[in-house]
Amino acid sequence: MTGVGSYAFKEKGYKRVATLAEDYSYPYTLVGGFMAEFCHVGGRVPKKLWVPLGTKDYSSVLSSLPEDIDAIYVALGGADALTFLKQYKQFGGKAPLIGGSSTVDQMVLDAKGAIAEHLVGTISGVPIADDNPSEGWQAFVKAYRAKFPDAYKFPSGTLHSYYTNMKAALLALKQAGGDLSNGQQKLKDALAKLEFEAPSGKVKLDKNRNAIADSYLTVVEKKEDGTLFKRLLQVVPEVNQTMKLSRSTAATPST
C-alpha cells in the first residue's frame, strides 16, 4: 500500500475514507498499510468495517457507511469483491473506491460479466503493474502467456508471489550446496543475504527477514478489447516492512 495514502490525499483530494475488509490477518495488513500513510499526511478514517469471508449480503454494511466520506478503501478478494461491487452498484453507491491489492487482482479483473468494470478508475498499491515496461516483467508475462494461454490476461499477484518465493528458495539451496544439516543453517544464512531480480524488480530481506521490494501505485483501466488492467502510475522503490515510514509512525496510525 505504500504510496497509496499520499496519492489519495494529495492527488485525488480524498480527506475522509471509510474502509471495508475481510476479517482476517491479510486484509488487516492492507488496511493498516493504507491508514498508516493516509493518516500520516492528514487523512481521516471515520469508520472501519470488517466482514467474514464469503459474505453474501452487504446491505447492512452499505447502510452503515458514513455519508461524509470521499472514498471507500476496499480490501476484499475474489467472489467477495464481485459480490460487493454488484450490491454497491445496486445500492446506488457514488463514492469512488480505493482498492486493496486483492481487490484489483487479475482474478477479479478477469471475472466474466461487467461487474468488475466498476473498478475502472480505482487506485491501488500492488506488487505488480500489468503494463510495467521493464524487460524482466515483459519477459515474465510473455512466458506466462505461452505456458498458460487460457488463464488470466495478466499474471495474478498470487502467481507472482509463488514464483518469487520459489526462486528465492532454489537460489538459496544452490548457494548452500543443498546442505540442510544443522537445522538448515546454511540455507538460512543464504536466504538472509540473498538478493536477486524477481519479475517485478530486485528483492532482498531486512534484518527481520521481511522483504524489501519495489511496489507499484496503479489505476485500473480498460483496453479497447475490454481487458481490465492495472496501469502503472508510479514505482515506489525498495519498500520495507514499515512502508518507508519511521517505525513509530507506521505502528501507530491515527484515525
> What pLDDT score does 233 carry?
97
What is the helix (H) or strand (E) element at residue 34, kind and residue range?
Answer: helix 25-40
When pLDDT is averaged across residues 179-203 and rounded to a whole number, the result is: 96
pLDDT digits (tens, 9 = 90+) for 118-127: 999 999 999 9
When pLDDT is averaged across residues 127-140 and rounded to a whole number, the result is: 96
Mean pLDDT for all residues in the chain: 93
Helices 181-193, 157-175: axis angle to 10 degrees equals: 120
Quick check: 192 pLDDT over 70? Answer: yes
> What pLDDT score does 248 carry?
64
Report angle CA 171, 173, 174 to the nearest 5 degrees: 65
Quick check: 72 pLDDT over 80? Answer: yes
CB 36, CB 157: distance < 8 Å: no
φ/ψ of 39, rounded to 5, equals -70, -30
When pLDDT is averaged across residues 229-238 and rounded to a whole number, the result is: 95
φ/ψ of 171, rounded to 5, equals -65, -40
What is the distance between the alpha carbons of residues 171 and 106, in angstroms, rounded to a whole number? 28
**CATH 3.40.50.2300 domain extents, the chain:** 4-131+212-251
pLDDT digits (tens, 9 = 90+) for 16-28: 999 999 999 999 9
The cell numbers describing 216, all together, are 507499484
What is the helix (H) or strand (E) element at residue 164, kind and residue range?
Answer: helix 157-175
Per the listing, cell 480505482 goes with: 122
CB 240, CB 33: distance < 8 Å: no
- The predicted model scores a pTM of 0.91
The cell numbers describing 133, all together, are 515496461
- Residue type at 127 in one-letter notation: P
Does domain 4-131+212-251 fall under CATH 2.60.40.420? My reply is: no
> What pLDDT score does 112 carry?
80
